[in-house]
Amino acid sequence: KTNRKYKVILPVYISAEEKDEIEEEKIEKDERAKCKTKQNKIKDQLKQDAIKIHGNLLQQSHDENEMKGDKVNVDWNAMKSYSSISQAENVICNLQLFSNGTDNLENDGEDDTEKRIFVPTFLQRKDLLCSISYGYPVVYALDCEMVRTSLGLELARISLIQLKPTEEDLEGYSVILDSYVKPKHPVLDYLTKYSGITPGILEGVNTTLEEIQTFLLALICKDDILIGHSLENDLNALQLVHEKVIDTAVVFRSSDGRKHSLKHLSSCLLHKKIQQAQCGHDSIEDALSSLLLAVRRAILGDNFMIYDKRNHKQNLMTILTRIRRQQGQHKQPLFFQRNEGPFICLGPNEWVKEHVGGRDQSTANVLQCENINSSSIRAITSYLRQGARSASMLWARVCVDPAADEEYNTKIDSLLSSVFDTSATNTVILIIIQVGYDEAKNLYKQRTAAKDPRSTLGWSQTQEE
């Protein structure tokens, strides 16, 4: 009658197994919370050390005597004064992102599986008050040398270069880190031919992988850009995870997906020979080559690349035809939207074959014109005249033989006058006059062959002049 509400509590019976599971989940949750708290504490300490390290680098970068390519010698005894680096092993263990089990090649009665601990970069550039880039991402180039141990490939040397561009020199840089590292496991093969590492070099080296990892976590922020060649090998050796990378092995892949070696890229694009020493590679030299390749690609664009044989066969008419075929009318460049006329190519038979290609490659209308005396020369003015037949583009090569034709100057003047008189006022006309074209072409082929890295002929300054 009083409309009272009653709360009924029914007993829930839990089995012993379920009770144990609940207890285990609670313990696991508490452990995760403790681990998270510990991680945050370590990250805060690492951040404080990072601010000091970046402050020292900032002071060095303002040094008036600093020159391009200056090397910063990291004093690891001084670095160990930072609590993060002095307790590097503990830092890395607590900041690990994941572990990879790797088969151990040696069986000494212990566990056959050795874990590689991977750590991610986490600092933000904007959080570093004394940042050397004042909040902007920094560009680094990295290269590592490895030796083979019972675990597999382990880090033995690391070189890190920082890009420091100026208005006068966009490719300015300094060497931030160049250090040998003591492998954890017995060395089976020093791979001296490639790494340049010998037993004598590693003798007395006490710098550990964890110290390198901790230093890089304090130096490289999550939003920084890391450049390298086949960078997955270097990051795997460092057991480091970083999101923003530029891999020159991927950037400069050929059209069929094949990767070029850093030595080949440096020779062809930088005109610089690297990895020439018999005692192995120089990681500073390799890191710098990767940096220069990436910087020049950013400045010069997609045309800064190695052209394979198939790309060499492409020509202007083929490229224009491909653009017109592949893209819809609304997506085509303004030139194609306003010019629907044909492409015309006129010249000697051999020249046309070389510069236009077969009918399956180009839709250009091809006209044969061996020299200025050919009757087909009149087609030039015919296609330039405004009307239904007006060409979108006309590409012509007109050959003149002064020795056989005394009136060649008069004929050239007459042709050019008719071109100017016939063309619309908004027509772009480009005229190139070249003497000795065939001879110059043959010399160019000889020089290209002589300068090929595989050639033993060479090309002297006298030949160039």
Helix, coil or strand: residue 260: coil
Pairwise CA distance, residues 288 & 414, whole Å:
56
In the prediction, which pLDDT does 99 show?
A: 64
Paired with 149 in beta bridges are: 187
Task: Name the band, by pLDDT with cuts 50, 70 and 90, for residue 326.
Answer: low
Would the pTM count as exceeding 0.75? no
By C-alpha distance, which of 141, 135, 130 is closest to 61?
130
Listed range (300-304, 338-342, 418-422) with the worst mean pLDDT: 338-342
User: By CB neighbour count within 10 A (0-12 exposed, 13-18 middle, 19+ buried), where does 192 fall?
Assistant: middle
Tokens found for residue 73 = 């010698």
Read off the tokens for 86.
């002095």
3-class SS of residue 212: helix
Residues counted in the chain:
465
C-alpha to C-alpha distance for 79 and 153, rounded to whole angstroms: 26
For residue 71, the model assigns a pLDDT of 60
Q: How do residues 366-378 score in pLDDT, each as one tens digit?
A: 888 888 888 888 8
CA terminus-to-terminus distance, the chain: 117
CA distances from 24 to 21, 31, 60 (A): 5, 10, 53
State what percent of residues in the chain have pLDDT above 70. Answer: 81
Region 173-177 average pLDDT: 90
